[in-house]
Amino acid sequence: MTADAIRTEGLVKTFGATRALDGLDLSVRTGEVHGFLGPNGSGKTTTIRILLGLLRADGGTARLLGGDPWTDATALHRRLAYVPGDVTLWPNLSGGEVIDLLGRLRGGLDAQRRAELLERFDLDPRKKGRAYSKGNRQKVALVAALASHVELLLLDEPTAGLDPLMEDVFRRVIRADQEQYGRTVLLSSHILAEVEALCDRVTIIRDGRAVEAGTLTELRHLTRTSVEVELALPPEGLAATAGVHNVQVHDGRVRFEVDTEALDPVVRRLAGYGVRSLLSQPPTLEELFLRHYGPRP
């Protein structure tokens, strides 16, 4: 018996010469909202499609809700709901018809919740598929997923087409959902604020591999604090101190970054140069993100 709703180990998927997943490890605990962060083309959608049994992994293992996503696909699908990153609808079906159809194909829809979600997302269910904008198509898929009786939500960049107001609604709904039902959510995204606001744990993926995984606090711990100081003496030897990066000097003002664990010795060392002023910025997830997103050193 595993406590993980999702667990992949060494997942590999290649498309011709492209290696979309290159040994991905991912574990999502039951009941948590897990952020799945990564730049475009890093393998987020491929991972979700493997978890749905739509794509077949070339290597590694994947377990979903205690089953095999490829062989037990339909049985598992009754217990999860999925919102694709790029929602396409049938041009001649109304949004309401699609919501009801997808809900029923999953095994049931909460009518009251459906009505409530339509209201909160301000979605007109009478429009035909071709008349919806990108954001509204996404809302159709979101309402269908959120109004279903399922234990796992797989959301692939679900807010990519939503306006800020609707993004906010989305966050509130997910949070309320979490308190009420304790669902497991895998939320792929590249929007940091969303992940910071919603997720208990985060996995950062790049080029088909998980480069960081852990709680937000753990990840923040890995990030660097930016420091700007005015010193009485020239900062000789500072650049060589362990944990100090990117030292820049401009007319007596020194800027650098410090690894969080090296903060204490570095501050002590600074005292020796005579600190006249000091400005420090706390670590942000964004910085960590940029470090992993940026070109590889």
Shortest Cβ 228–another protein spacing (Å): 43
Residue 153 exposed, middle or buried by CB count within 10 Å (0-12, 13-18, 19+): buried
Q: Which of residues 106-165 bind another protein (CB under 8 A)?
A: 106-107, 125-128, 130-131, 141, 144, 154
Residue 115 phi/psi, 5° resolution? -60, -40
Judge whether 204 and 37 are in contact, CB under 8 Å: yes
Residue 122 or 286 with smaller CB distance to another protein: 122
Compute the least distance from the CB of residue 78 to another protein, in Å: 4
Q: How far is the CB of 89 from another protein (least distance, A)?
A: 7
Q: Is 224 in the site for another protein (CB under 8 A)?
A: no
Residue 246 backbone phi and psi in degrees, to 5: 50, 55
Nearest alpha carbon to residue 198 among 174, 177, 180, 182:
174
Give the span between the Cα atoms of 172 and 149, in whole angstroms. Answer: 19
Nearest to 64 by CA among 49, 74, 52, 46: 52
What phi and psi, each to the nearest 5 degrees, are found at residue 241? Answer: -65, 140
| Residue 52 touching another protein (CB under 8 A) | yes
Q: Determine, following the binding rule CB under 8 A, whether residue 67 of this chain makes contact with another protein.
A: no
How many whole angstroms separate alpha carbon 182 and alpha carbon 151?
8
Mask: binding to another protein, 7-46, rule CB under 8 A, as x and -?
Answer: --------xx------------------------------
Residues 71 to 100: which contact another protein by CB under 8 A?
73-75, 77-78, 80-82, 84, 86-100
Q: Quick one: 18 or 280, whose CB is closer to another protein?
A: 18
Which residue, 102 or 173, is less far from another protein as judged by CB?
A: 102
Q: Which residues bind another protein (CB under 8 A)?
A: 15-16, 49, 52, 54-56, 73-75, 77-78, 80-82, 84, 86-102, 104-107, 125-128, 130-131, 141, 144, 154
